[in-house]
Amino acid sequence: KVIQFKIITIFPDFFKPMLEYGIFSRAYKKGLIGFETIDLRDFATDNYKSVDDEPYGGGSGMVFKPIPLGKAIKKAKSKKETKVVYLTPSGRVFNSDIAKELAKEEELVFICGRYEGIDQRIVDLYVDYEISIGDYVISGGELAAMVVVDAVARQVKGVVKEMDSVVKDSFYDGLLDYPHYTRPETYNGLKVPEVLLSGDHKRIELWREKMKLVETLTKRPDLLERAKLNDLQRKLLKE
Ligand code: ADE
């Protein structure tokens, strides 16, 4: 069973590049993941194809109407267990743990909001996850959905050619990645760390584990408190 991503949006074409470039596109073409956009306007009930309206109580901005959106969600969900994700700055801040959790699902429906948001009753009735991609506001849920869908797809087996590289990515074990180097050996007077040229795989492995801790300690000490460290990492941290 292959995970199915379904995106409800007023801008389906926004997602075209995902299917044209890179790892996500390759996985889609190989049938490792399913991906489909659903045009919210197809569910509009009036002649003007309107999907938004003024907020009750007044104020600025427009709100997505519940009837077209509710219909789109019902159409998108092929079974009742399907989880619905609404991208909103009011949601839980997205991270690697949430990506891994969502990757276990068979089908995910994403709602991309525009304007001020969507009618709250849609959230109350249908939404399982409210997710934010960070503490800032972007102009619509489309970019946020692309971020979440890409990160979730990377956790699906086979999408990234070597699962090895996903496991070694930043955040997989709650730590930042170690620094990377490639040829030439000297660049603008800066040398590649000697250990990486040593051919001693044990030493290289140890250096990389150490550097993950150094990177995390200096750039994101907040991550260390939550990281699940292994015995080696705990021992290195004491040094
Ligand atoms: N829509 C607007 N801003 C957003 C954010 N930070 N995260 C998710 N969806 C959004």
Q: What is the pLDDT of residues 105-134, one digit of tens each?
A: 999 999 999 878 999 999 999 999 999 999
Which of 63, 94, 138, 146 has most ligand 1 atoms within 8 Å of its beta carbon, as the pocket-test mutant? 138
Ligand 1 site residues (CB inside 6 A) read 87-89, 132-134, 136-138, 141, 144
Q: Helix or strand or coil: residue 170?
A: coil
Catalytic residue among 105, 169, 177, 209: 169
Q: Where in the chain is the domain with CATH 1.10.1270.20?
A: 170-238
Distance, CA 155 to ligand 1 centroid (Å)? 22
- Ligand 1 atom nearest the C-alpha of 88 is 9
Q: In the CATH scheme, what architecture does the domain 170-238 have?
A: Orthogonal Bundle (1.10)
Q: Tell me the pTM.
A: 0.95
Q: How far apart are CA 135 and CA 190, in angstroms?
A: 36
Total length of the chain? 239
Q: In the CATH scheme, what architecture does the domain 4-154 have?
A: 3-Layer(aba) Sandwich (3.40)
Instruction: Estimate the crossing angle of helix 231-238 against helix 201-219, to 10 degrees.
Output: 70
ipTM over cut 0.90: yes
Which of 133, 139, 143, 148 has most ligand 1 atoms within 8 Å of its beta carbon, as the pocket-test mutant? 133
Q: Where in the chain is the domain with CATH 3.40.1280.10?
A: 4-154
By the 8 A CB rule, do 140 and 12 touch? no
For 133-185, the pLDDT digits (tens) are: 999 999 999 999 999 999 999 999 999 988 878 888 888 889 999 999 999 99
